[in-house]
Amino acid sequence: MTEHYEVYKKYKKRVDEVLAGAITKKHPETLYEPMRYILNSGGKRIRPMLVISCCEACGGKMEDALNASVAIELLHNFTLVHDDIMDNADKRRGMETIHKKWNQNVAILCGDLLIGVAYLYLLKTKSGKLNEIINIFTEGVIEVCEGQGYDKEFEKRDDVTLYEYKMMISKKTAKMLETSAVVGALCAGAGDEKISSIRQYAANIGIAFQIQDDLLDINADGSELGKNIGGDLVEGKKTYLLLKAIEVINDKQDKSKIENIVYQQGLKSGNMKDILEIKNIYNKYGIIESAKKEIEHYTGLADECLNTIPDGVYKERLRWFSEMLMGRSF
């Protein structure tokens, strides 16, 4: 496992070096300074790691996928900047969000710039399947936006089901990981069978990843998370935990407390006492444990999808990657 982590650090360092080259322009300052700010804010580079790892698992080399991996990271940061505006989030990775540090107009333009630069790096990819790579990447942009649209719609609805929730996260979160994996496989020139396996692996990891995010929002240490816990409750997000609680809680008093979050479109008080009360209800009815089992379930499904990948270090690295994501605390 240490070996895989050392490789991860090597990939991250290389991606960061290329990203640094994407932000050398300085003017106008109100455009490029925020871009440098978010790209230097300590992201884990999970998606570029997946691009490169899937490329190698399908017979390619890191350099084959490097520019594409940087494009994916730029795209990911585009989604973060715009999501933070829509969620009115104060912090990201323990730092002020761009719209808070500067203003909303700066943040919108910064997001637009990020996606433009992402395409510049994607087009630097040397591959006989570049058209397919561009199509997959663009489909990813569209579906991530659709997922965010559903997420915002669901905040205003009081009848969202767990089925709808999983549909939403398959677009908003899982699609980005799926796009990363397929782009990596295409960079290696992989055939249809391997691409299908890699796609399903990442799609399942993506669902597990989002449920883990939902869990961390209420169950993590705030200092490690980089933001206050309970933000999803305050915003009225339809998370796995909230929807599962509505489904299983029968006690009238406890169910009323959960339903009030839905009907009021968020835990309006926002104070820690009320957040911890909801967390206690989640624990009381096994909601936290249910979320952990769902994470394990989808992680297991993901690993089963790697059967077409030859046994060896690259396959093991993808399994390690799954475990690493599910074991994170932020």
For 170-198, write each residue's pLDDT tens digit. Answer: 999 999 999 999 999 999 999 999 999 99
The predicted structure's pLDDT at residue 330: 52
Q: What is the pLDDT of residue 227?
A: 57
Distance CA 216, CA 330 (A): 7
**Phi, psi at 96, each rounded to 5°:** -60, 140
Name the nearest CA neighbour of 182 among 232, 114, 131, 136: 136
- State how far the Cα of 210 lies from the Cα of 190, in Å rounded to an integer: 27
pLDDT < 50 regions, the chain: 225
Q: Are 290 and 278 within 8 A, CB to CB? A: no
At residue 308, the pLDDT reads 85
Question: How many other CB atoms are found less than 10 A from the CB of residue 85?
Answer: 18
Domains in the chain, please, with CATH?
1-128 (1.10.600.10), 150-311 (1.10.600.10)
Q: How many CB atoms lie within 10 A of CB 221?
A: 10
Q: What is the predicted pLDDT for the residue at 226?
A: 52
**Angstrom distance (rounded) from CA 202 to CA 214:** 18
Report CA torsion sign: 149, 114, 129, 305.
Answer: negative
User: Looking at residue 134, what is its pLDDT?
Assistant: 98
What per-residue confidence (pLDDT) applies to 1? Answer: 60
48: nearest Cα among 22, 21, 24, 19: 19
Q: Which two tokens stand for residue 262?
A: 């839905």
Q: Name the DSSP class of 157.
A: -
Nearest to 60 by CA among 199, 192, 194, 190: 190
pTM, entire model: 0.92
Distances (CA, A) of 271 to 6, 49, 216, 230, 330: 41, 37, 18, 9, 21
CA separation for the pair 89, 253 (Å, rounded): 31
pLDDT of residue 316: 94
Residue type at 247?
Answer: E
Note the pLDDT of residue 329: 53
Q: Would you say the C-alpha torsion 204, 122, 45, 163 has a positive or negative sign? A: negative
> Could you tell me which residues are beta bridge partners of residue 92?
95
Structure tokens at 148: 């965010």
The pLDDT assigned to 118 comes to 97
Dihedral angle over CA of 54, 295, 167, 81, nearest 10: -70
Give the per-residue pLDDT at 25: 87
Contacts of 148 (CB under 8 A, 6+ apart): 79, 82, 83, 86, 172
Phi, psi of 95 (to 5 degrees): -120, 160
The CA distance from 182 to 177, in Å, is 9
Using CA atoms, how far residue 296 sits from 216, 289, 322, 328, in Å, is 15, 11, 10, 13
